[in-house]
Amino acid sequence: MTSLNLLLWITLGIVIQLVIFLGIEYWHHWIRYRKLPSDKNEVVGIHSRSAENISAAVWNGFRTFRVDRKIIEDEAQSTCSFYLVPVDEKVLPVFQPGQFLTFSLDLPASNDSSEQLMRCYSLSDAPFADHYRVSIKRVPAPPGSHVSAGRSSNYFHDHVSVGSLLQVRAPAGHFCIDNSDDPVVLICGGIGITPMLSMLNETLIKQPEREIWLFYGVRNSSETIMQSHLNTLESAHSNFHFWICASRPLPEEVLGIDHKHEGRVDIKLLRALLPLKAYHYYICGPAPMLESIVPALEEWGVADVRIHYEAFGPSSIKRTTSVVKDNIQRQQTDKEIVVTFAQSEKKLQWKPSDVNLLEFAESNGITINSGCRAGGCGTCQTKILSGEVSYRHPPDYDPDEGTCLLCVSTPKTSVALEL
Ligand SMILES: Cc1cc2nc3c(=O)[nH]c(=O)nc-3n(C[C@H](O)[C@H](O)[C@H](O)COP(=O)(O)OP(=O)(O)OC[C@H]3O[C@@H](n4cnc5c(N)ncnc54)[C@H](O)[C@@H]3O)c2cc1C
Ligand code: FES
């Protein structure tokens, strides 16, 4: 080799090293940039902000957000993510992964009027200082019925676009991942993946060594969302175990490639796969999933305090814990509970089989405004004139003094309600 050739090789080596170094620096810069708030005066990253900053940023009532991006997430085009930035451009408060946002929507109705709806949507990503993300599944009309399709979800898909303004209440909810180092199992069905994405993304940033399992139940790959993101996380973290369970796989789908299990997520699968450890279980999905898995975990011997769940609407999970047993027993012995609806001028006998005051009122012909029907949005808040109600779990929405949330409460004594 001539000395000229040698010189060329050395120069090439230096150039390659320089390019790699600049590439890595650029990548680090980009990662830092993603975490920075849009207000460039706020130079603190989301994970290093002090408690003072966080509490200062929490807002009361509704705040206006602009849709910054709208992204379809699945092959079936039924789930869409909305990236929301505050119009005031101030830093957003940190939320607990698993929490949700409440939206107040003005939907166009007939005769140039509008219909006000309140709906909750889980935050579907880790907290960032400059934006929130929610992912919304379109709810079709039940096949063969004259009932209309889901109002809010279809409004989001069809009428909310980049630049749209939305009225949003601050993050709320008690279904949040714990901060311990205990191993954790996330179980979800369908759109119940959204709070899990937030929990997972945040945990792998903050506690990258924590053992975490995700069981994601879908019918088939057409409705799976963010699969490539989840696969990438699984490749990058040996402590993250990701199982897609397809209950109705398409003929072309292959076990081991498109999904890891054929069938629903059930206790048999969990018992077969999970080592004997004290896991925390977080479950979110359709009511039948919760109603089968939660009692099965209890029967398996999982402590009550380690089972956390959320339904995206009404569900009636049969818990075997002492608190619930006491409640049922009390209601069974308390034969004379009477519920009075003052404005509707109705006095009705409550039965132990009645699920909650909202359904009780509706089944007796009383119309009541409702939103989430799960204790999250406050729409069904009603004044108590006399008597007491009880809640199975503390509701996510904090009702005003002297009121109750009908959708998640039952009468403790005979009760008179304003409606
Ligand atoms: C805490 C929480 C978090 C949530 N997070 C998410 C999330 O991350 N992503 C998500 O997509 N959803 C989420 N949801 C669910 C969401 O809030 C809405 O309930 C969902 O989008 C459906 O609302 P909608 O207005 O589209 O449907 P609605 O208009 O409320 O209709 C609901 C169902 O009732 C049927 N229906 C309509 N009218 C009638 C009638 N007259 N008689 C009988 N049936 C009727 C509809 O066909 C539909 O099947 C969450 C809910 C809660 C409580
Ligand atoms: S309907 Fe949302 S709190 Fe009752």
The dihedral built from the CA positions of residue 336, 342, 346 and 350, taken in this order, carries a sign that is negative
Most informative mutation of 101, 115, 153, 160 for ligand 1 (most atoms within 8 A of CB)? 153
Q: Which ligand is nearest to the CA of 398?
A: 2
pLDDT tens digit sequence for 72-92 = 999 999 999 999 999 999 999
Model pTM score: 0.84
Closest ligand 1 atom to Cα of 134 = 8
Pick the CATH number of 334-417 from 3.40.50.2300, 3.55.10.10, 3.10.20.30, 1.20.1250.20: 3.10.20.30
Q: Which ligand is nearest to the CA of 381?
A: 2
Task: Give me the amino acid identity at 100.
Answer: F
Closest to 360 (Cα-Cα) out of 377, 382, 376: 382
184-320 fold: Rossmann fold (3.40.50)
Ligand 1 centroid vs 139 CA: distance in angstroms?
Answer: 7
| pLDDT score recorded for residue 43 | 30
Closest ligand 1 atom to Cα of 310 = 1
CATH topology of 46-141+148-172 equal to that of 334-417?
no
Q: How many helices (H) and strands (E) does the chain have?
A: 9, 19
Closest to 155 (Cα-Cα) out of 123, 115, 193: 115
202/416 Cα distance (integer angstroms): 45
Q: Ligand 1 within 6 A of 184 CB?
A: no
CB within 8 A of 151, min separation 6: which ones?
Answer: 107, 115, 117
Ligand 1 centroid vs 2 CA: distance in angstroms?
Answer: 75
**CATH for the stretch 46-141+148-172:** 2.40.30.10
Helix segments in 207-321, DSSP class H: 227-236, 267-273, 287-300
Beta strands 212-218 and 184-189, pairing class: parallel
Q: Ligand 1 within 6 A of 31 CB?
A: no
Closest ligand 1 atom to Cα of 117 = 25
Closest ligand 1 atom to Cα of 373 = 53
Q: Give the CB-side neighbour count of residue 69, counting CA atoms within 13 A.
A: 11
Phi first, then psi: what are they for 368, rounded to 5°?
Answer: -135, 135
Q: Which ligand is nearest to the CA of 81?
A: 1
What residues form DSSP beta bridges with 141? Answer: none
Q: Is residue 248 within 8 Å of 276, Cβ to Cβ?
A: no
Phi first, then psi: what are they for 123, rounded to 5°?
Answer: -75, 130
Task: Give me the amino acid identity at 67.
Answer: V
Most informative mutation of 82, 118, 122, 157 for ligand 1 (most atoms within 8 A of CB)? 122
Most informative mutation of 139, 155, 158, 309 for ligand 1 (most atoms within 8 A of CB)? 139
DSSP SS3 for 376: coil
Ligand 1 centroid vs 147 CA: distance in angstroms?
Answer: 13
| pLDDT score recorded for residue 272 | 97
Q: Ligand 1 within 6 A of 376 CB?
A: yes
Ligand 1 centroid vs 267 CA: distance in angstroms?
Answer: 27
Q: Is residue 231 within 8 Å of 242, Cβ to Cβ?
A: yes
Residue 123 carries which DSSP code? B
What residues form DSSP beta bridges with 104? Answer: 118, 167
Dump the DSSP string for 284-306.
EE-HHHHHHHHHHHHHHT--GGG
Closest ligand 2 atom to Cα of 369 = 1
Stated as kind and residue range, the H or E segment containing 383 is strand 381-386
pLDDT tens digit sequence for 233-266 = 999 999 999 999 999 999 999 999 999 999 999 9
| pLDDT score recorded for residue 39 | 33
19/13 Cα distance (integer angstroms): 10
Closest to 371 (Cα-Cα) out of 395, 402, 339: 395
Most informative mutation of 77, 198, 310, 312 for ligand 1 (most atoms within 8 A of CB)? 312
139/102 Cα distance (integer angstroms): 18
Closest ligand 1 atom to Cα of 377 = 53
Ligand 2 centroid vs 396 CA: distance in angstroms?
Answer: 10
Residues in the chain, pLDDT under 70: 1, 18-57, 315-335
CA distances from residue 9 to 4, 6, 12, 13, 15 in whole angstroms, order as listed: 9, 5, 5, 6, 10
Q: In the structure encoding, which two tokens stand for residue 404, read together?
A: 């109750």
Q: Ligand 1 within 6 A of 23 CB?
A: no
| pLDDT score recorded for residue 273 | 97
Phi first, then psi: what are they for 240, rounded to 5°?
Answer: -105, 120
Q: Is residue 318 within 8 Å of 342, Cβ to Cβ?
A: no
Q: Ligand 1 within 6 A of 120 CB?
A: yes
Dump the DSSP string for 149-181.
PPHHHHHHHHH--TT-EEEEEEEE-S-----SS
Domains of the chain, residue spans: 46-141+148-172, 184-320, 334-417
